[in-house]
Amino acid sequence: MEENEIINGLTEAVVNGKKDQAAELSQKSLDEGVDPYIAVINGLAKGMEIMSEKYENKQAFMPHLLMASNAMYAGMDVLIPHIKTEGSGARKVLVIGAVEGDVHDIGKNLVKTMMSAVGFEAIDLGKDVPVEQFVEAAAQNKADVMSISTLMTSTMDNMQRVMDGLNSKGIRNNMKVIVGGAPITADFATEIGADATKTDAMEAARWAKEAVESLSPGRWD
């Protein structure tokens, strides 16, 4: 199989939500000597991006998106271990979770998927994540981006507490922070000192990819 054929096949497997096909083609790309980074970005991630655009345009919905996401991860599970992690190929780190008190994670998972698609290594803390755990995970993993979500108005205060925690540990400016979820407005994001909020997962990922460029490389040293 030609490299192009494999790459296009990976994109198609994600768009069509074919998990097994994505895993098989990923293995094939390794066997054929395709650069795994290229296979992820130009193959799998591109498929996810296509689906995300379809979702924005109301041509695809949650069922299609979740199928695509499963396919992307099935392929990434095969490819990621083979991507070199040093130097220019190093992946930026995302620490992501739904804030303490909130157990809703569909939106959070979509953000994680799109962030992975644009090249982030996602440290997923899950849902109902204690405030301290966000702070600790950021320090431990030398986070580039932190994403905090909630669907419930009653837990919005906990986002402020995460920001306070980052500040008191002196690491707030080592990363970009994005907050999201149905009740979150741009005013609220500004009020608690986050860098951004976006209305959908793809926009969040695009923002994050660009935002990390302004972070200084040695800031965690």
Where on the chain is the footprint of another protein (CB under 8 A)? 58, 60-64, 66-67, 70, 101-104, 106, 109, 128, 152-156, 182-183, 185, 187-188
* Least Å from the CB of residue 136 to another protein: 22
* Least Å from the CB of residue 207 to another protein: 21
Strands (E), the chain: 93-98, 121-124, 145-149, 176-180
* DSSP designation for 16: T
**Which one, 68 or 135, has the nearer CB to another protein?**
68
**Which one, 33 or 63, has the nearer CB to another protein?**
63
**Which one, 4 or 190, has the nearer CB to another protein?**
190
User: Please, what is the Cα angle at 21 between 26 and 56, to 5 degrees?
Assistant: 95
* Least Å from the CB of residue 220 to another protein: 34
Residues 165 and 136 sit within 8 Å (Cβ to Cβ): no
* DSSP designation for 200: S
For 22, other C-beta atoms within 10 Å of its C-beta total 31
Angle of helix 3-15 relative to helix 19-31, nearest 10 degrees, comes to 160
**Which one, 60 or 178, has the nearer CB to another protein?**
60
**Which one, 90 or 182, has the nearer CB to another protein?**
182
* Least Å from the CB of residue 67 to another protein: 6
* Least Å from the CB of residue 88 to another protein: 36
CA distances from 121 to 20, 32, 93, 145 (A): 22, 25, 5, 10
* Least Å from the CB of residue 66 to another protein: 5
Cα–Cα dist 167/176, whole Å: 13
CA distances from 85 to 35, 58, 61 (A): 13, 36, 34
* Least Å from the CB of residue 112 to another protein: 13
Cα–Cα dist 49/213, whole Å: 21
**Which one, 58 or 87, has the nearer CB to another protein?**
58
Residue with tokens 């644009």: 118
* DSSP designation for 60: S
**Which one, 27 or 154, has the nearer CB to another protein?**
154
